[in-house]
Amino acid sequence: MTEMITLTIDGRKIQAAPHTTILEAARGAHIDIPTLCYNESLTPYGACRLCMVEITEGKRTRLVASCIYEISEGLVVETDTPRVQNVRRLVM
What is the set of domains in the chain, with CATH numbers?
5-91 (3.10.20.740)
The sign one gets for the Cα dihedral 83, 31, 34, 52 is positive
The torsion defined by the Cα of 71, 73, 79 and 81, in degrees rounded to 10, comes to: -130
**pLDDT tops 90 at residue 92:** no
Please tell me the pTM assigned to this model.
0.92
pLDDT at residue 1 in the model: 59
Q: Regarding predicted confidence, which is higher, 1 or 66? A: 66
